[in-house]
Amino acid sequence: MHLFSFCKSYIVKKFDTHVNAYAEKNIKDECRVSLKGAIDYNILKSVIVYYQANQFHSIGNYMVLINFCIYAMNCNYPYSQNSFDHEFVVDFIWIETSNKKDTTKVFYSGLISTFVNTYNLIIHNDNRSLGISMSKAYYSSYYSYNQRLTDEELYRIFLTLPSKDDNFIVMFNVLLRTGIRVSEMLSIRKKDIYNENGLFFFKIKGKGLKYRMVAMPQNNFRPFYMSKIRSLNNDEYIFQTKKNTRITRQFVYRGIKKFFLQLGISKEQNGPHVLRHTFASKLYEKHQDIILVQECLGHTNIEITRKYIHLHISNLKKIADLYDDFCSDTLSVMFMFSITNVIRGIIFSIFI
């Protein structure tokens, strides 16, 4: 059965349990007929939007199931051959509900996991439960700011980061601005980098030997490239110790954890993965493009049929500019702070 047909029939079967008891019978019948008559996702969404505004408010909850199916289709997930797996579903739930209240996250998680478990059982005879927790406490910790940085914490980081060691500054920026994993960052060699259109591009080897491209602004990487990378051989790793050995993951984890503690930032896991969660959340909040986020994160179920994932230059520009607002605001804060100190100095000199 086609995923769309399954989605439509699932929503139709659930329709009667989400109908306003006081709705007129003829409107109920019209809605049911309209749902059954939908021939694609856009029409199905239009039907739900229309009847949600006409007595059937709860039916709007099933919009998230349509979004999940569209997401799976756009990601080329092989749902005709394989069951949906835990990682794929959790990734969607996390991104889809990143700006929702905790209670809404739990509710949507229940809708999606029930839908997926039903699909896996009926289509693939797979009766294994995804095991997605329905606990509000679990989702509160998974989605909340215990897993990502707040705007205020980002401002503090951008104000303090310039005082750190060059190697640390660049590694921190690469992780925060590209969303790549620590292991992926430490595997970057000189030959994996090129410079074009005001951006530095990095060829990233992800899990399962799947490649993708990420980018960041020149001004955040050029000084490091000129001083540390330009003289390296093409096959050398770009992040090295003073003894010219490859930097370890433990070194990066310890450095970021220590940096967070110095700034008074406390997360459930005070490590580099906080930067990856922050990147994904900010990118989705700014551009509302789920597929763009998933391509950047390089999850194993994205674009399975292709060896390389290529993003359009305009999309890479979006990613590279992700924190420009914070940087400009930080400079404004620093400028105002400097002006305030100058004024204080003038006033002090007048009265002494």
Q: What is the mean pLDDT of the chain?
A: 78
User: Does some domain include residue 336?
Assistant: no
Q: Are residues 126 and 32 located together in one domain of the fold?
A: yes
* CATH number, domain containing residue 239: 1.10.443.10
In a domain, 80, yes or no: yes
Residue 134 has pLDDT above 50, yes or no: no
Residue at 352 is within a domain: no
Specify burial of residue 202 (Cβ count, 10 A radius: 0-12, 13-18, 19+). Answer: buried
Q: Residue 323's pLDDT band (boundaries 50, 70, 90)?
A: confident
Q: Determine if residue 313 is left, alpha or beta; phi over 0 gives left, psi from -120 to 50 gives alpha, anything else beta.
A: alpha
Structure tokens at 251: 């070194």
- For 148, the 3-state DSSP assignment is coil
pLDDT at 312 over 50: no
Q: Do 163 and 108 belong together in one domain?
A: no
Encode burial over 239-261: b for 16+ CB neighbours within 10 A, e otherwise.
Answer: bbeeeeeebeeebbbebbbebbe
Q: Kindly state whether residues 95 and 234 are assigned to the same domain.
A: no
The answer to whether residues 67 and 121 belong to one domain is yes
Per-residue confidence at 249, pLDDT binned at 50, 70, 90? Answer: confident
Domain housing 231: 151-331
- Same domain? For 178 and 113 the reply is no
Cα separation of 108 and 110, whole Å? 5
181 and 203 belong to one structural domain: yes
Nearest alpha-carbon partner for 10 in 35, 39, 40: 35
**Token duo for residue 204:** 């990233």
- The pLDDT tens digits of the residues spanning 177-224 come to 998 889 899 999 999 998 888 899 999 987 767 788 899 888 889 989
**343, part of any domain:** no
Number of domains, the chain: 2
Using only C-alpha atoms, what is the Rg of the chain?
24
Q: Rounded distance, CA 111 to CA 95, Å? A: 15
Measured between alpha carbons, how far is 315 from 127 in angstroms, rounded to an integer? Answer: 39
Give the integer Cα–Cα distance in Å for 265 and 149. Answer: 9
| CA–CA separation, 128 and 114 (whole Å) | 12
Same domain, 209 and 168: yes
The verdict on 49 and 33 lying in the same domain is yes
What are the pLDDT digits (tens) for 264-301? 888 777 788 888 888 887 877 777 666 677 777 775 54
Q: Are residues 170 and 208 in the same domain?
A: yes
Query: Which residues does residue 211 pair with via DSSP β-bridges, in sequence order?
Result: 205, 308
- 22: CB partners within 8 A, 6+ apart: 55
Res 238: pLDDT:
94
Q: Is residue 199 part of a domain?
A: yes
- Active-site positions? 181, 207, 273, 276, 299, 308
- Which of 105, 121, 143 finishes a domain? 143
Range 100-129 average pLDDT = 85
pLDDT band for position 65 (cuts 50, 70, 90)? very high
Q: What is the pTM of this model?
A: 0.51
Domain co-membership, 24 together with 42: yes
Cα distance from N-terminal residue to C-terminal residue, the chain: 86
Q: What is the per-residue pLDDT for 306?
A: 28
Are 7 and 76 part of one and the same domain? yes
Q: How far is CA 81 from the centre of its chain?
A: 27
Q: Say whether both 227 and 113 belong to one domain.
A: no
- Whether 54 shows a pLDDT value over 70: the answer reads yes
Query: Would you say residue 342 lies in a domain?
Result: no
In a domain, 339, yes or no: no
pLDDT in tens, 162-182: 877 788 899 999 999 998 889
